Amino acid sequence: MTFSILPPAASPRAARGTSPCSDTSLDSDGDIDATRPPKRSKIGHKAVITPGEVVTEDSQWMRGHGTTASPDSTVILATVAGTLLRTNKLLSVQPLRARYTPEIGDLVVGRIVSVETKRWKVDLSAPLLAHLPLSAINLPGGILRKRTATDELAIRTFFSEGDLLVAEVQSVYQDGAASLHTRSLRYGKLRNGVFMRVSGTGGGGGVVRSRRQVWTVTTANGGGEVDMVLGVNGYIWICKHSRGELVASTEEAKKMNEITKMEEAVNESMYSNRNDEIGPQTRREIARLGGCVRALVENGVRVDEEMVMAAYGMSLEGDTDMDGAQEEEDEYMGGEKGKRVVAAALESVR
């Protein structure tokens, strides 16, 4: 008897899986084989995502802020207009315009809206008003002691409704409200300047968290020194630098060899409501810095120390014509002039 060896034949199941008309392999129940996962959808790289737009359909991603998903589907949809942020497997949408969300350690500029028992309510452009406890401020003279009933009765002598202040976020409550403190000579009541409100860290052109939020600008045209305070919440304060007055009072106290009087001279001005005399040159440079900030915001550029100083330098160069004469009749920083200044500032920092 002769035996013939035949070549191995493919099984019907394998033939079905490798059929050119079939895109996926099927198991015994007719379902997709788990050994061959379907292709995963890629995350788009669009600059702006609109509300209702599909972010992804892949189940490996988790939804974060600014997104939503139905319980019976893996589709993640955007709920706000903004840019897509990816943190490991977490997807979130950062809105283009949003209210400030307090974080511990943020330097903020706020306005007192109400005075309550042992605390003030402060507007930070956040969803909830912030709290400034009476125990979280410096007393005049730098005295360190427990707050008494006398301090509670004199609470309006420190801050009253409408006062502006610079403070630091000390803690954040569970409901999102911030607790502030001004236990430093860098913080306290603001005066001798101008207040501006722009967009904060919500996105787009506005104030961003940077290395320095407070610095001193040595202005041109005899304006002297000007302080810039960029609050992370989008509130900006531009004022005359008061270091010279404090140094003068400190030197006078040193001559008297009385440390207590030196501390009192430095701290008494912290809660003063009277503005000092500001010269026209200083006012002009304060207005110029404010115009630079507005130009940056109108053109969607971040507001930080680097960009503000670059825009200020370009504005000074733009005021000088080809002959080197100063153009004093046109000081407006908006419109086409603002666009040119911002474009030159962006080019200079690259």
pLDDT at 10: 62
More confident residue, 18 or 299: 299
pLDDT digit string (tens) for 69-117? 888 888 999 998 888 888 888 999 888 777 888 999 999 999 999 999 8
Q: Are 274 and 262 in contact (CB under 8 A)?
A: no
Between 243-255 and 259-268, two packed helices, what is the crossing angle to 10 degrees? 160
Closest CA to 268 of 249, 251, 243: 249
Q: How far out from the chain centre does Cα 294 lie?
A: 16
Residue 216 has pLDDT above 80, yes or no: yes
Helix, strand, or coil here: 62?
A: strand
**pLDDT band at residue 254, thresholds of 50, 70 and 90?**
very low
Beta strands in 138-197 (DSSP E): 164-172, 178-181, 188-189, 193-197
Q: What is the pLDDT of residues 306-315, one digit of tens each?
A: 999 999 999 9
pLDDT of residue 7: 76
Q: Are 99 and 125 in contact (CB under 8 A)?
A: yes
- What is the helix (H) or strand (E) element at residue 84, kind and residue range? strand 82-87
Contact (CB, 8 A) for 295 and 333: yes
Residue 128's pLDDT band (cuts 50, 70, 90): very high
Predicted confidence (pLDDT) per residue in 179-214, tens digit: 999 988 789 999 999 999 987 654 456 788 877 899
Q: Are 314 and 274 in contact (CB under 8 A)?
A: no
Strand partners, 196: 236
| pLDDT computed for residue 46 by the predictor | 58
CA-closest candidate to residue 131, choices 66, 191, 63, 181: 181
Note the pLDDT of residue 122.
96
Tell whether the model's pLDDT for residue 26 goes beyond 50.
no
Q: Higher confidence at residue 212 or residue 10?
A: 212
